[in-house]
Structure 1
Amino acid sequence: MRALITGTTGFVGQHLASYLINNGIEVWGTTRDYLNEVNLVEGVKIVPVDFENIESLVKVLDDIQPDFIYHLAGQSSVIDSWTDKTATFQSNVNLTLNLLEAVINSEIKGNVKVLTVGSAEEYGGPDEECSPITEDARLKPTSPYGISKATVGMLARHYFIAYGLKIIHVRPFNHIGPGQRVGFVVSDFSNQIVRMERGQQNNVISVGNLSAQRDFTDVRDIVRAYYLLLNREEVTDWGECVNVCSGTATSIQSILDTLLSLSQTNIDVVIDSNKLRPVDTPVFIGDNTKLKKFTSWEPTINLTQTLSDVLKNLRDQS
């Protein structure tokens, strides 16, 4: 079996590549900076791709003949989407459109299985009567990033209905784990803690709202769900959207408390009013019933283990 991953050197892409290789799947990867092999997983075969050129994409697909396509490439920051809306839609919508056009014009269109990656941000602020959030919840994204990912989900549905493409669109909630870049709550807290342990900054963490509760899942459990969704023998649910989440609410306070308990130095916590959001959804949790029904998936890595692994990964870096 052979898989093509777009965005192979990203946070999720690296973990997915490792998981697929460990399960005996030959992995090909695309990346915008394919000459930079710093973040390449051993065993991944990198192929240069011009996502702006559909004919070039078709040739790559015909040459590789993948059984699975995991489309992870794109702009992943909600904050960045506000400052560069055009780039966000170009990366998340236009490139997805080009990839799907290439698939239906390729030799593999009748057999390949495709997974597009959306986001829980597609839901926006949840309705009180819909918590945990199911896939049938009303989409009302509140950021350019969320709107772009909702559009990707609509494109996935369109290509299933119009062309019979075997495609699943996932809406992952907060995923955390070793290797996540700064800009997300766990990586931000963890990076500060390791810097404090090294004496590189004062032993004070400034925080915003710690009472908010979110649905956190280890990235290694996330990629296992992606694998299971496509690696099924008999599938009757192509064109569906599927939440990938733990189904459990965890407060930011709990995340911080656990990280502090795992730290190797004494740290003070102070509230920074500049980090408090004018509107912050108190509880944002997903319903994973559909995922479990389709795959019998269950999360296997608990929060403490994840946070311990995140800190270890940072400490091991020079």
Structure 2
Amino acid sequence: MKALITGVTGFVGQHLASYLLMNGYYVLGTSRHNANNEQFIEGIELVNIDFDNTADIVKVLDTVQPDFIYHLAGQSSVKDSWVDKEGTFQSNVNLTLRLLEAVVSSSVKDTVKILTVGSSEEYGGIDANSEPIPESTQLKPTSPYGISKATVGMLVRHYYMAYGLKVVHVRPFNHIGPGQRMGFVVSDFSNQIVEIERGDRDRVISVGNLSAQRDFTDVRDIVRAYYLLLSQEVEMCWGESVNVCSGEATPVQSILDILLSLCSVSIEVKVDQNKFRPIDVPLFIGDNTKLKSLTDWEPLYNLEQTLNDVIENLRNQS
């Protein structure tokens, strides 16, 4: 089997590529960055695609003939979307639109299976009484990022209904794990702790809202769900959205407590109001019933193991 991953050099892309390679897939990847000399590219064929040119995308698809396309490329930061709204829509919406349009015009239109990545941010300002959140919940995105991902989901529905593309849209909730870049709660906490252990900063950790409860899933469980959704043989809900989540709520305070327990020195915690989001929801967990019914997926990594792996990964980088 041959899989094409857009955004292969990103956090999720690297984990997905590793998982597919482990399962015997031939993996091709695209990236906005020049990653030819990076270690994680071993075993992956990098292909150049001009995503500003639909004809070029068609040419690559006709040449590569992928069985699966995992469309991970895009702008993934809620915070950055407030600063660069236009860039967020360019990366998340326009790029997806050109890719789907290219598939329609390609020789793999009737055979390729496609997965687009949305976000739990599509749900936005939900009613707390509706927890956990099923896919049927009315979308009320409250950030430019969430709006862009909701738009991608609507594009997926359109291209299935209008052209019969075998495409599914996933809505992952908070995913964490080794290798995640800064700008996310676990990576930010962990990086500060490791810097303190190394003596590179004072023994004070700066945090935002610790009372918020979120649905955290290990990235390695996330990519396994992506793999199962496209590799299954039974007919699935093409054109629809599927939550990828643990179905459990974890306070951010608990994340911090576990990470601090893994630290070898005492650390003072200081709350920084500048780290609070303009709009924040106190409780946010997903309903993974649909995912489980389609794939029999279950998470394999518990929170303590994931956080320990994150910390150890950062320590080994010194």
With the shorter chain as reference, the TM-score category is over 0.9
Q: What does 1:37-186 correspond to in 2, within 5 Å?
A: 37-38=37-38, 40-186=40-186
Runs of 5+ unmatched residues, structure 2: none
- 1:210 alignment partner, SS class: coil
Other-structure match for 1:201: 201
Mark the CA change 1:36 to 1:79 in structure 2 (over 3 Å): closer, same or farther: farther
Mark the CA change 1:190 to 1:4 in structure 2 (over 3 Å): closer, same or farther: same
Q: Which whole-Å CA distance do the structure 1 matches of 2:37 and 2:93 have between them?
A: 26
Mark the CA change 1:91 to 1:278 in structure 2 (over 3 Å): closer, same or farther: closer
Other-structure match for 1:245: 245
Q: Percent identity?
A: 70
Letter in 1 for 2:199: G
Mark the CA change 1:265 to 1:140 in structure 2 (over 3 Å): closer, same or farther: same
More divergent stretch after superposition (265-274 vs 44-53): 265-274
Q: Which whole-Å CA distance do the structure 2 matches of 1:54 and 1:259 have between them?
A: 45
Other-structure match for 1:231: 231
Q: Which whole-Å CA distance do the structure 2 matches of 1:215 and 1:195 have between them?
A: 27
Query: Are the aligned partners of 1:217 and 1:246 in contact in 2 as well (CA < 8 Å)?
Result: yes
Other-structure match for 1:270: 270
Q: Which whole-Å CA distance do the structure 2 matches of 1:23 and 1:35 have between them?
A: 23
Query: Are the aligned partners of 2:9 and 2:35 in contact in 1 as well (CA < 8 Å)?
Result: no
Other-structure match for 1:19: 19
Letter in 2 for 1:174: N
Shift of 1:38: 2.4
Q: Which whole-Å CA distance do the structure 1 matches of 2:144 and 2:278 have between them?
A: 18
Shift of 1:147: 0.6
Letter in 1 for 2:235: V
Q: Which whole-Å CA distance do the structure 2 matches of 1:169 and 1:236 have between them?
A: 12
Q: Which whole-Å CA distance do the structure 1 matches of 2:232 and 2:38 have between them?
A: 33
Query: Are the aligned partners of 1:11 and 1:179 in contact in 2 as well (CA < 8 Å)?
Result: yes
Letter in 1 for 2:160: F
Q: Which whole-Å CA distance do the structure 1 matches of 2:87 and 2:39 have between them?
A: 23
Q: Which whole-Å CA distance do the structure 1 matches of 2:150 and 2:104 have between them?
A: 21
Shift of 1:11: 0.2
Query: Are the aligned partners of 2:120 and 2:172 in contact in 1 as well (CA < 8 Å)?
Result: yes
Shift of 1:271: 2.4
Other-structure match for 1:306: 306
Shift of 1:316: 0.6
Q: Which whole-Å CA distance do the structure 1 matches of 2:281 and 2:153 have between them?
A: 23
Other-structure match for 1:254: 254
Query: Are the aligned partners of 1:262 and 1:308 in contact in 2 as well (CA < 8 Å)?
Result: yes
Query: Are the aligned partners of 1:160 and 1:167 in contact in 2 as well (CA < 8 Å)?
Result: yes
- 1:270 alignment partner, SS class: strand
Q: Which whole-Å CA distance do the structure 1 matches of 2:130 and 2:154 have between them?
A: 21
Query: Are the aligned partners of 1:242 and 1:291 in contact in 2 as well (CA < 8 Å)?
Result: yes
Query: Are the aligned partners of 1:8 and 1:40 in contact in 2 as well (CA < 8 Å)?
Result: no
Letter in 2 for 1:192: Q
Query: Are the aligned partners of 1:68 and 1:113 in contact in 2 as well (CA < 8 Å)?
Result: yes
Shift of 1:93: 0.4
Letter in 2 for 1:262: L
Q: Which whole-Å CA distance do the structure 1 matches of 2:18 and 2:285 have between them?
A: 28
Shift of 1:236: 3.5
Runs of 5+ unmatched residues, structure 1: none
Shift of 1:137: 0.4
Letter in 1 for 2:85: K
TM-score, normalising length: structure 2: 0.98
Shift of 1:309: 0.4
Q: Which whole-Å CA distance do the structure 2 matches of 1:255 and 1:275 have between them?
A: 16
Query: Are the aligned partners of 1:88 and 1:145 in contact in 2 as well (CA < 8 Å)?
Result: yes
